[in-house]
Amino acid sequence: MEAPLSRLDEPVTLADIIDQDSLQRVCMSFARFYGTGLAILDAKGQILVDVPADYAVCRRIGAHPHQAPVACSFDELAANTSKDGDEVATTCLCGLRYELARIEHQGELLGRLVFGPYRHAGVEGLESAVEEVFKEGQSASEHTAFVDGVKADLLRVDPRSVASAREATSMISKMLAVIVETGYARHLTSQIHIAAIQDAYNELTEKNRRLADSVEKLKDLDKLKSSFLATVSHELRTPLTSVIGYSEMLLEGLAGDLNDEQRGYVKTILDKGDHLLQIINEILDISKVESGTVHLSLEPFDLGDVMRQVADGLMPQAQQKGLTLSYDVAPEMPRLTADRVKTRQILLNLVSNALKFTSRGGKVLVHLRTGQLDIGGRLTPMLEVLVEDTGIGIPEEQRLKIFEAFLQLDSSSTRKYGGTGLGLSIVKHFVEAHGGRVWVESPEGGATTGTIFVVQLPVSPPPQIRATQMRGSSTVVR
């Protein structure tokens, strides 16, 4: 199978390279200048331009009831000029003459110029020719009158020598050659441009196809990664729970008394086990998030009570680091309808994060207050949690990145602060699953240290999130 021709190799036609309206205007100007008809045919004999000569003799013959067989019909002349070869002058029945010239480009025939009809001599021989064609259906007197009228009309046509007609035809042909050359150059330029665009489009299409394939592969890999994390995390929890349980029994003396050194070792095992369990739980949470669904069990509860429980639970950790942890709950707070476990996880992650990045002697303050949240252009009551610390702070250019999974601002192997980088990502997904917002900002005064995490939760989840407010119900947010 032969390869298709490129745009630059495809043959061109006269209509491709010359605007037909512009060619019509040029031919009309030449026709008026020379006082004759002018036509342009393409290589197949199709008429592109026709500026007819308004001769009385043509109108007279055209009005005759037996005009059809007349060989000087322009349509028949056009049909007979579609053959290659030298162009010759054609004389019509009534004695008018046409000059024909080839229109070429680089030796390839594109069309023909037809100059005429014009009168090049007297009217000799007209009577016998007309006699053959038009005598049928006329009386002798009618026929004589018709022939005399044709002769009179012919004599009114300005005579032109063959040499002058051919000179005019040659001059028009040269002008058309310039127009053709210019049009071909413009056509070639446009085809090169189109071919370049087509090549670029084909290349872009191929790149998009490869990119789409890569995206699909990455999606599959991401699903595989999430499935792997969920499976591994689940399998790790079972033995780890046993390690923690046996460590607690050893500390309680169920297997006998331990000396101080032994108790210290077991306490270290228990602490590290708890820390590892926390990491595994975070990985399980993020794998659920990345799977595309977050399940919410909605119920009304007092967010202030949950905040106090979180702060009281983390108080020993704060005291061990020499930090001040305090909370402030505004009076008459409305009850929040949300997932109690995930809301507690949001507060726990944010306060733990603040304690981790605040140095000894610093402060962590948690505020709870009411406000209005804009959801889809509609204001709805909300509860706002602010977790403020005096820690190391977050550079402004990094604040949009800190909610990405597995991200640590200090990713070096010798970093001072440990962790998986999942806590804030889980916070963001859980908050947005409730229809809320979370962001980080600097303390007032433009301080370079310290941060304030702001969480806004609607008092009642939006309709698309809330399935029911009965305890134990479950809704899925995608």
- Lowest pLDDT segment from 219-233, 235-249, 382-396, 406-420: 406-420
Work out the burial of residue 439: count CB atoms within 10 Å of its CB; fewer than 13 is exposed, 13-18 middle, 19 or more buried: middle
Which range scores top for mean pLDDT: 163-172, 217-226, 278-287, 457-466? 163-172
Contact between 440 and 385 (Cβ < 8 Å): no
pLDDT at 301 over 90: yes
pLDDT of residue 475: 44
Amino acid at 348: L
Helix and strand numbers (H, E) in the chain are: 11, 14
Spatial separation of the C-alpha atoms in residues 383 and 300, rounded to whole Å: 13
Contacts 24+ apart (CB under 8 A), 179-188: 179/18, 179/23, 179/26, 180/14, 180/17, 180/18, 180/103, 180/105, 180/110, 181/105, 183/17, 183/18, 183/19, 184/12, 184/17, 184/105, 186/17, 187/12, 187/16, 187/17, 188/8
Sequential DSSP letters for 31-45 = HHHHTS-EEEEETTS
User: What tens digit of pLDDT does each residue of 50-108 get?
Assistant: 888 877 777 776 666 655 444 454 555 655 554 444 455 666 666 678 888 888 888 88
- Please give the structure tokens belonging to residue 154: 């012919």
pLDDT at 49 over 50: yes
User: What tens digit of pLDDT does each residue of 166-187 get?
Assistant: 999 999 999 999 999 988 888 8
Find tokens 């020598």 and name the residue.
161
Query: Taking the chain, what is the end-to-end CA distance rounded to the nearest angstrom?
Result: 52
Q: What is the pTM of this model?
A: 0.49
pLDDT of residue 93: 66
pLDDT of residue 132: 64
pLDDT of residue 121: 67
pLDDT of residue 448: 58
Find tokens 């046409």 and name the residue.
98
Distance of CA 149 to the CA centre of its chain: 72
Spatial separation of the C-alpha atoms in residues 22 and 1, rounded to whole Å: 40
User: What tens digit of pLDDT does each residue of 189-228 get?
Assistant: 888 898 889 899 999 999 999 999 999 998 888 777 777 7
